Copies of this chain bind each other. A is one copy, B any other.
Amino acid sequence: MRTPTIDDDQLLDRLTEVFRVHGYEGASLSRISEATGLQRASLYHRFPGGKEEMAEAVLRRADDWFISHILAPLSDDQPPSQRVERMAKRLAHFYDSGEHSCLLDSLSLGDAEAALQCHVEQSFTAWLGAMTAVARAAGATAAVAKRQASDALVQIQGGLVFSRVTGDTRPFRRVLKNLPELLTGAGVKKPG
């Protein structure tokens, strides 16, 4: 390389934030260039497919992180309620306690390319499936588990919308706290 440059991880971090905050259409190359410190042509060197490839790369990496840190631990051998508690804790980190909106939500609005929208839907479905499985493991029937998982995703996404519009993250944090009960029927264990 000729001059020092930003590494892939940092680059994807910055890209993720731009897409998350501005959505697909709002994430203009000017904004991306400003956020990453790279000129247009450099961005096209890293992502020959242009803006859509950038969004796909961002989604793919978010998926990887989400699957390994949040979904996979949902099916280990601990008690279901503890698995959900851990998911809630990691979701709190992932969304910065509600300060961050959801990339899937941002990219689902409006006019992202069809392939992107499809990817978003699949990520959503994977999340739903993992939560359904843990609800089943906690003893729910298939139908009830599916309903509980949908309700959980509804409340998580709604909490994030609420935070974005009002700036008040308390409802989102309340949702996370109530996730174990919602998904496994297990109330929070009070010591003593």
Instruction: Verify B108–A165 contact, CB threshold 8 A.
Output: yes
How many copies of this chain sit in the oligomeric assembly? 2
Instruction: Verify B104–A165 contact, CB threshold 8 A.
Output: yes
| A26-B153 contact in complex given A104-B165, A120-B165, C-beta closer than 8 Å | no
Contact bitstring A91-113, B, C-beta under 8 A = 1, else 0: 00000000001001110111100
Q: Does A166 contact B (CB under 8 A)?
A: yes
CB distance from A17 to the nearest CB of B (A): 12
| A165-B121 contact in complex given A150-B171, A158-B159, A159-B154, C-beta closer than 8 Å | yes
CB distance from A190 to the nearest CB of B (A): 20
Name the contact of A157 in the complex, choosing from B25, B124, B161 (C-beta under 8 A).
Answer: B161
CB distance from A170 to the nearest CB of B (A): 7
Contact bitstring A130-151, B, C-beta under 8 A = 1, else 0: 0000000000000000010011
Question: How many Å lie between the Cα of A22 and that of B23 in the bound state?
Answer: 11
